[in-house]
Amino acid sequence: MKNNPLRDLLTRTATDRAFREEFIRDPAAVLRRAGIQVPEGKTIKVLENSDEQIYLVLPTNADDQPANWDRQERPAPGEKKDAGKLLMEWTEEGLVLKGRIDSETARALREQLDRVSGNLTLDFTDVAYMSSSGLSVLLATQNRLKTVGKELLLYNAAPPIRNVFALMNVDTLFQFVYPVDMEFLPWAVT
């Protein structure tokens, strides 16, 4: 079945209350963060059913959607997101992380990772700390990518970071790679 990023986003609104409220508030921003290109000059409105009023919206056929609404495999190199204690920068190789992944920065990390639909390398070289909140984000991303046959690689994770995975007994669910390993991965750019 062909991946439909809009359908995936709408499905998430049914299970994630905070995400649903954010989508209703600013749908264009949520669509862009999901990697869906919103055409210039288009207004996006979200209608929510209530007890008094029900909206029926006929969607376009998935095959007839504008080509510029396709999901990108990942954001463009050079794009940055500063989440306070965590700086994230997209490169040709993947996403470089610098700082701390904790309960305050995990949501911003998830927003960035939710924009990816292809293989991804996360560079942990400059990550000083990661809490269980960060681990939860990585587990969700790993599961999402795995269901579409893609891989998540954790690059250059220091022993204290790997210990978080081991303590939660999920280290075997992830693929940890180090500089020497990268030459053997056909899709990883070194």
pLDDT tens profile 81-127: 999 999 999 998 899 999 999 999 999 999 999 888 889 999 999 99
* Confidence tier at 3 by pLDDT (50, 70, 90): low
* Confidence tier at 190 by pLDDT (50, 70, 90): very low
Structure confidence at residue 66 (pLDDT): 47
Range with lowest mean pLDDT among 69-73, 120-124, 167-171: 69-73
- What are the residue ranges spanned by the domains of the chain? 5-69, 80-184
Structure confidence at residue 74 (pLDDT): 80
Average pLDDT over residues 168-177: 90
- Look at residue 62 and tell me whether its pLDDT is greater than 60: no
Average pLDDT over residues 40-60: 74
- Look at residue 10 and tell me whether its pLDDT is greater than 60: yes
The CATH number of 80-184, from 3.40.50.10490, 3.30.750.24, 3.90.1150.10, 2.40.110.10, is 3.30.750.24
Higher pLDDT, 172 or 47: 172
Range with lowest mean pLDDT among 67-71, 74-78, 149-153: 67-71
* Confidence tier at 8 by pLDDT (50, 70, 90): confident
Nearest one of 38, 17, 65 to 25, comparing CA atoms:
17
Rounded Cα–Cα distance for residues 176 and 155 (Å): 6
Structure confidence at residue 189 (pLDDT): 47
